[in-house]
Amino acid sequence: MLQRAMEDSNPATALNPFVNAAGNSAATLGSIDNNYRRDNTSSQRLREVQVKGDGPLFSVGGGEARIAVGVDLRNEQAVQLQTSGTPARAADMFIVRDDNISRDVFAGFAELNVPFISSQNALPWMQRLTLSLAGRADYYAAYGTRFNPKLGIVVEPIAGFSLHASYGKSFVAPNVGMITHKFGFVGSQNSSGFYTYTFPADSPRAGETISIGNTAGTEAATYNVYNSGGGNPDLKPEKATTWSLGLDIAPPQVPGLRLSVGYYNVLYQNTIYKATMNDVFYKPGFEYLLTVSPTIGQGVSNAYMDAAVAAEYAESPPEMDLATYTVWDVIFRSYAVNIGSRKFEGLDFDGAYDFETNFGRFSVAGNANLKLVDTQKVLPTDPYVSRLGSDQAVKWKGRGSLNWAYGPANVNLAMNYVGSYKLATGVRYSDGTTVQKVKAWTTFDLGVRYSLDQLIKGFSIQGRVVNLFDKDPPWVDSGAGYSSSNSNAYGRMFEVTVRAAF
């Protein structure tokens, strides 16, 4: 391979980059590539047996109290073999990771629904009162038994006006594909993104603040990043506590009208998260996922970084052979980790109105989400840091639609909205910040469906245009030029679907 040919001490077989091909050994040139390859074979399997049943348990004033119970037995497995090297030289092939993770999960669950008041025994001041109780217990050999309860209540004092509330806890084990071994990506050499960085107390340059990236006046225009990724065998389960309140309105005086608003409050603990370069450089609490060489950009090694790289190689081996002279300026640990906790609060709005005319049936509908709070802390001792208004916590999102149905024809026009937000891009702007305000994005979709039941029972044809006016996503000052989490670059798309029911 290239680095071995460059390091070869034999002049007859070493690669000489200062002459043409004729000046080098044919065998040496052939060995540089020699069908070098990286293979990754992976699969995830789920084997599950579930038994459940439901039925009436006892009677109360509003009707039958019903219960549902069940058990769930499943086996989850992740198999992953990643190799790298030259098959023609077996000695050069090596295993990057070889995982075969399997775990058995045993669970039991039950839910009880009790209608204390219903249409059967409604009172002048209470039309409906329903209580629901649920619980689920999961057993994992690695995590033990976890029990999660849920409580819900629905109260309807006036016909068409109901209040609902719920409280619950949940537990989610990391996907088996996320707890495979770590390995290092080595393709991020000559990176040029702009960042500022303050060296930590254990660095030879403790307390110094520098700028890096392809911008005038930085310490390193380009730098090499060792990206330590893959899985993380140390991941722990996520936990959440949720509660909500809501109001539903469907007044009998206005047939076809439905309105609702709901408040939610969620506390996540041990949240599984993959940090970005912006996170590790700029967000408090992520510092442990980043190591920066005190001689960054100089192409020379030093004892501080050599020790860090050796430790990283031991925990997260590189995905391919590396030249001994490779110098890493930055270690970025991008594998999933558990962060301390996250808090979410917000409002969900939903409304619809259906009405008949001489020209068919019309339906107007809309829903929106307003985030009120979105904070996180990486370590239990850290303060909460707000993400509200960023690319990961856009304040407003919504969708509205107008539907017309007339005989076998159905036409739907929908509007999609993603509000504006701020994004840390790593690019230095004229105002001295590295934060870009990204514009809101509004698109329209059009769908047309025609039923051919009169010709063939259950047969219909449907056409759909996504992003009807071919609206470009808001420009983002990054490599892709747009935010994949809040938009897409596909532009206008056409779909044709033929359906048949038998």
Q: What tens digit of pLDDT does each residue of 225-235 get?
A: 999 998 999 99
Mean pLDDT of 266-283: 90
Q: At 10, is the pLDDT very low, low, confident or very high (cuts 50, 70, 90)?
A: confident
Task: In the chain, count H helices and then E strands.
Answer: 4, 24
DSSP letter string over 50-68? EEEEEEEEEEETTEEEEEE
Mean of per-residue pLDDT scores for the chain = 89
**In the structure encoding, which two tokens stand for residue 301, read together?**
């090694």
Q: 3-class SS at 178?
A: helix
- Tell me which residue has tokens 């190799």: 83
State the pLDDT at residue 459.
Answer: 86
Q: What is the reported pLDDT for 415? A: 98
- Per-residue tokens: 71: 């058990």
Using CA atoms, how far residue 16 sits from 21, 29, 34, 325, in Å, is 9, 10, 18, 17
Distant-in-sequence, close-in-space partners of 243: CB < 8 Å, separation ≥ 6: 165, 166, 167, 168, 264, 265
Q: What pLDDT does residue 398 have?
A: 98
Structure confidence at residue 397 (pLDDT): 97
pLDDT at 55: 95
47 and 73 Cβ atoms separated by less than 8 Å: no
Q: Residue 436's pLDDT is what? A: 87
Q: What is the mean pLDDT of residues 80-86?
A: 81
- Which of 61-75, 185-199, 432-446 is predicted with the least confidence, judged by mean pLDDT? 185-199
- Strand 409-418 and strand 441-451: the pairing is antiparallel
Beta bridge partners of 123: 126
b (16+ CB within 10 A) / e for 445-468: bebebebeeeeeeeebeeebbbbb
Please say whether the beta carbons of 196 and 281 come within 8 A.
Answer: yes
Q: Calculate mean pLDDT across residues 262-278.
A: 93
* Phi, psi angles (nearest 5°) of residue 128: -155, 140
CA distance 235 to 77: 16
What is the three-class DSSP state of 276? coil
Q: Three-state SS for 22?
A: helix
In one letter, which amino acid is 294?
P
Q: Inform me whether the pLDDT recorded for 129 exceeds 90.
A: yes
Per-residue pLDDT at 4: 65
Extents of the domains making up the chain: 1-33, 37-164, 389-502
**DSSP β-bridge partners for residue 166:** 152, 244
Question: Which residue's structure tokens are 């090596």?
Answer: 94
- Beta strand 128-140 pairing with 144-158: antiparallel
Angle at 272 between CA 202 and CA 184, to 5 degrees: 55
Q: Is the pLDDT of residue 425 over 80?
A: no
Q: Which two three-digit tokens encode residue 407? A: 């005989």
Tokens of 229: 């990724």
Task: Please classify residue 64 by burial: count the beta carbons closer than 10 Å to its beta carbon, then call 0-12 exposed, 13-18 middle and 19+ buried.
Answer: middle
Tens of pLDDT, residues 345-373: 999 999 999 999 999 999 999 999 999 99
Q: Does residue 16 carry a pLDDT above 80?
A: no
CB atoms < 10 A from the CB of 163, how many? 13
* Closest CA relative to residue 182, chosen from 293, 277, 97: 97
Cβ neighbours for 182, distance < 8 A, ≥ 6 positions apart: 97, 228, 229, 230, 231, 232, 233, 315, 316, 335
Residues 173, 134: contact at Cβ < 8 Å? no
3-state secondary structure of 289: helix
Q: How far is CA 252 from CA 130, 367, 431, in A?
A: 20, 22, 56
Contact of 212 with 259, CB cutoff 8 Å: no
Instruction: Give me the percent of the chain exceeding a pLDDT of 90.
Output: 63
- Give the CB-side neighbour count of residue 468, counting CA atoms within 13 A: 14
Q: How far apart are the C-alpha atoms of 498 and 450, rounded to whole Å?
A: 10
Return the amino acid letter for 325.
Answer: Y
Residue 325 has pLDDT above 80, yes or no: no
DSSP 318: B
Structure confidence at residue 91 (pLDDT): 56
Q: In angstroms, rounded to a whole number, what is the distance separating the alpha carbons of residues 318 and 312? A: 9
**How far is it, in rounded angstroms, from Cα 85 to Cα 321?**
7
Contact predicate 342/373, CB 8 Å:
no
Residue-level pLDDT at 92: 62
Which residue carries 């020379």 as its tokens? Answer: 300
In 3D space, the residue among 335, 330, 37, 392 whose CA is nearest the CA of residue 197 turns out to be 330
Which segment of 40-49, 359-368, 378-387, 487-496 scores lowest on mean pLDDT?
378-387
pLDDT in tens, 427-449: 777 777 778 899 999 999 999 99
SS3 call for 21: helix
